[in-house]
C-alpha cells in the first residue's frame, strides 16, 4: 500500500471541510453586516419616535402653562 493512495480521499474530506467553513463564515459575515444595518435603522426610528414624543410633551406643557398664566386672578377676599 502506497502512501499516495490515501491522499485523494483525505483531500476530498478536507475540501468539504474548507467549503463548509467558508460557507459558514460567508453566512455569518452577511448576517452580521445586515444586523448592523438593521440595528441602525431601528435606532433611527427610536430616535424619531422619541423626538416626536418630546415635541408633543413640550407642546402640551406650553399650552398648560399658558392657561395658568392667562387665568383670571382670584378675587381678593375682604378679611376685615
How does pLDDT run across 22-66, given as a tens digit for each residue? 888 888 777 767 778 888 889 999 999 999 999 999 999 998 888
Q: Report the predicted TM-score, pTM, of the whole model to 2 decimal places.
A: 0.48
Q: How far are the Cα atoms of 13, 22, 25, 35, 45 from residue 32, in angstroms, in the given order?
A: 28, 15, 10, 5, 20
pLDDT computed for residue 1 by the predictor: 47
pLDDT computed for residue 2 by the predictor: 53
Provide φ and ψ at 51, rounded to 5°.
Answer: -65, -40
Is 78's pLDDT higher than 50?
yes
DSSP label at residue 6 = S
Report the alpha-carbon distance of residue 27 to residue 43 in Å, rounded.
24
Amino acid at each position: 500500500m502506497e502512501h499516495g493512495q490515501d491522499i485523494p480521499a483525505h483531500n476530498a474530506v478536507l475540501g468539504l471541510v474548507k467549503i463548509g467553513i467558508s460557507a459558514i463564515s460567508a453566512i455569518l459575515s452577511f448576517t452580521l453586516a445586515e444586523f448592523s444595518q438593521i440595528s441602525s435603522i431601528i435606532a433611527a426610528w427610536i430616535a424619531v419616535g422619541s423626538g416626536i414624543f418630546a415635541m408633543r410633551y413640550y407642546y402640551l406643557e406650553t399650552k398648560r402653562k399658558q392657561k395658568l398664566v392667562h387665568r383670571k386672578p382670584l378675587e381678593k377676599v375682604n378679611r376685615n
